[in-house]
Amino acid sequence: MDRNGIWMERHWGTRAIALTLLCLGAVCLNQAKAVAELQFEEVWMATTGGGARLATDGQGTCMLVWYDSDPINGDLDIFQSVSTDSGETWSPAVPLNTDAATDTGHDYRVDVAYAGQGVWIAAWESKNPPGGGTYDYDIFYSRSVDNGATWDTPLPLNAEAYNDGPKAQDWLVRLATDGAGVLLASWMRYGTGSNLGPRLSRSADYGATWTEFPTSFSLSMPCCAIAYGRSSDGLGKWIATDSARDDLGNWYFGMSSSADGLDWSPVEWLLTGDDYIDPTWLDERLSLTADELGNWLLAYRWGTNKVFSSTDSGETWVGPQTLEAANPELRSRWYGGVSVATDGQGRWVAVGNAMEAFGGMLGDDSDLLYFLSEDNGASWSAPTPINQDAWGDEIDDMTGDGIPPQIVSCSGSWIVTWSGPAGVHVARTPQTPKPGITVQPVVGHTTEDGATALFQVALFAEPAADVTVTPLLSDASEGLVTPAMLTFTTANWSTPQELTVTGVDDSVVDDDQTYYLTLSAASTDPDHDLLERTVVIFNKDNDTPTQASVSSITYSLSRDRKDLFVYVTVVNEAGAPVAKASVTADLYKNGVKLTSFSGATLSNGIVTFKLTNAKSGTYTTTVTSVVADGLTWDGITPGNSFTK
């Protein structure tokens, strides 16, 4: 339908390409095979507007937002449309910002996220001055507690919106959520004035209030792309990333992680292997996504579409892998960013815009293509068009605002949105859930005091026969599980059934112990027989530690490679982080004492020291004292060294 709510009659499925022999001029390309495995149809269209962004609650409700011109005042405003049936039908387009009828400043590039419990957050660039302030771009946000039926009055998100001056532009906001009330907003500040560069803000109350991180912290953080993922146990982590270049011209991705979005780990660097990455727009070209099984993908586009992948919750990464490497003869001239989503069952889809796709076979306009992986990103299909009119439409399916297409997975459907000169588009695949066991943690962990973990178990798809699911724990000394079996039928396959795991006590200071709950399915239905799903659980220790030690001292450089950061990690005898420990240390350069530092560890057990404008040389650190409540420091400084 268009902005007036008129339904479109046009539907299209992705045309399957089967190219066993392709001749371009005098060149014949063998083994060029790209068979479409997803069938998209366009289900919604707004004839004007751009910058479309999409979010889902994972239970069938999807929120689409974009900017469009206001026919009354002539400015840009934010619009929305909502689907409650996994993207099959959509509500009429209406303004999201409540001041749309009266404001005159532009409301521009927008993002949206689901915070949990029916709460949605939208954030965007706005030139409407808060309280009569200056007419620069600031970040505004609005909150809906009723699935988009109504929205709160827009409020500024950046703390300096009232006094940052007319030439300090806050742009390109992106939202990340854990779906349980904690959200992070990142954006960039350009222009002239103070505190330029990346900015980061956090909410722990479903977006009701926000706290912006200090400037010094934001500038040291890789905060262009942020995402949240779980390790199938309900205990997840945040990962943030962006790009940086060293003195030799090598490009890296900086990675930092956090359990709560508040205290972050030292930055680690991944060499991209690229000769050049444009950091100005890289935040729009990065896509960081995770499932609930510890799998992460970092996708980006510079020349070609590439991915880094992790199967251990971001602890280690493999890559970069070029998506179209398996089919170089189908390579296209890519434009803009790439977006990646997962259905949580091993399938991942990446989408991007390509000009002169397949060497010009689709014309010299831009079209929308996708790649499919069914092995958690280890291998990818050949690129395949999403828009049916890719074959000769000669209409660009992209806009010049830097907003890439976006794809999400919702209740068995893939939903993709993109913007072009013809407006905002939404296409989806029919709901085709893959057989599997779904596990939703209600309370994800046990304690040695006997507290229980509770899991809701169901099937992804309807079986052809009864399915029995047997739970098995990897370590009976940590927990006990009941009941001994769950049975799903064709009538109750989608209705969650509960499993309870009770913690078992010991008398050892062993910190929180990890163990595993494996669910094994048996059925005469071959699609459901032998299915397995493993959930990670930890049993919280109730024994009191007595000793503190420094487990590691590591170093990193700032984004501009000028400042040196020193990270001291304090743990107890079980290896658990010690928070609020007072640490004093001496920093040496080339064996000569340079300065002394002191500070307190955060919840991750890390205290960070900063040396501004560090000169070339070899640095070492010696810890001189650690004072922690109830713990005695062992007095040992681990070996460490860093050469700049």
Instruction: Tell me how far apart the alpha carbons of residues 20 and 29 are, in angstroms, rounded to a whole number.
Output: 8
SS3 549: strand
- Is the Cβ–Cβ distance between 236 and 294 less than 8 Å? no
Q: Identify the pLDDT of residue 179.
A: 86
Top mean pLDDT of 269-273, 365-369, 417-421, 451-455 is at 451-455
| 237 contact partners, CB below 8 Å, separation of at least 6 | 228, 229, 231, 257, 258, 259, 313, 314
Q: Assess contact for 334 and 354: CB atoms under 8 A.
A: yes
Tally of helices (H runs) and strands (E runs) in the chain: 3, 47
Q: Are 639 and 552 in contact (CB under 8 A)?
A: no
pLDDT at 20 over 60: no
For the chain, the residue count is: 644
**What pLDDT does 399 receive?**
59
- pLDDT value of residue 476: 92
Sign of the C-alpha dihedral, residues 626, 627, 628, 631? positive
Residue spans of beta strands (DSSP E) within 326-436: 333-342, 348-355, 366-373, 384-385, 406-410, 413-420, 423-428
Q: pLDDT class for 12, splitting at 50, 70, 90? A: very low
pLDDT of 167 strictly over 80: no
| Interatomic CA distance for residues 67 and 53, integer angstroms | 10
Supply the DSSP string of 247-286, one letter for each residue.
TTS-EEEEEEEESSSSS-PPPEEEE---S---HHHHHHHE
- pLDDT attached to residue 328: 52
Nearest to 608 by CA among 560, 570, 559, 562: 570
| CA dihedral sign, ordered 628, 632, 638, 641 | positive
Distance between CA atoms of residues 414 and 373, nearest Å: 13
pLDDT at 617: 95
Predicted pLDDT at 391: 58
- Cα 242 to Cα 265: distance, rounded to the nearest angstrom: 15
CB under 8 Å to 158, separation ≥6 — which residues? 138, 139, 164, 170, 187, 189, 199, 201, 212
Strand order across the beta sheet in which 479-482 lies: 437-443, 452-459, 497-503, 479-482
Asked if residue 144 has pLDDT above 80, the reply is yes
Q: Quick one: pLDDT at residue 432?
A: 73
Residue spans of alpha helices (H) in 435-552: none
Beta bridge partners of 548: 572, 633
Q: What is the mean pLDDT of residues 355-373?
A: 67
Identity at 117, one-letter amino acid code: Q
Task: Calculate what percentage of the chain has a pLDDT beyond 90.
Answer: 37
What's the confidence (pLDDT) of residue 22?
A: 28
Specify the pTM. 0.74
Across-strand partners of 620? 588
* Structural tokens at position 644: 């700049």
Question: For the chain, how big is the Rg over CA atoms in Å?
Answer: 26
* pLDDT, tens digit (0-9, with 9 covering 90-100), for 119-141: 999 999 988 765 554 567 889 99
Residues 352 and 339: their CA atoms lie apart, in Å, by 7
Integer CA distances (angstroms), 505 to 291, 510, 537, 543, 589, in order: 31, 11, 15, 10, 48
Provide mean pLDDT across the span 242-247: 68
What span, in angstroms and rounded, lies between the C-alpha atoms of 615 and 644? 7
Judge whether 155 and 98 are in contact, CB under 8 Å. no
| Three-class DSSP category at 623 | strand
- Tell me the C-alpha distance between 284 and 286, whole Å: 6
Higher model confidence: residue 220 or residue 347?
A: 347
User: Can you give the pLDDT at residue 281?
Assistant: 43
- Mean pLDDT score across all residues of the chain: 81
In this prediction, residue 5 has a pLDDT band, given cuts at 50, 70 and 90, of: very low
Q: Is the backbone of residue 292 left (phi > 0), alpha (psi -120 to 50) or beta?
A: alpha
**pLDDT score for 135:** 67
Task: Report the pLDDT averaged over residues 471-477.
Answer: 93
User: How far is it, in rounded angstroms, from Cα 126 to Cα 169?
Assistant: 10
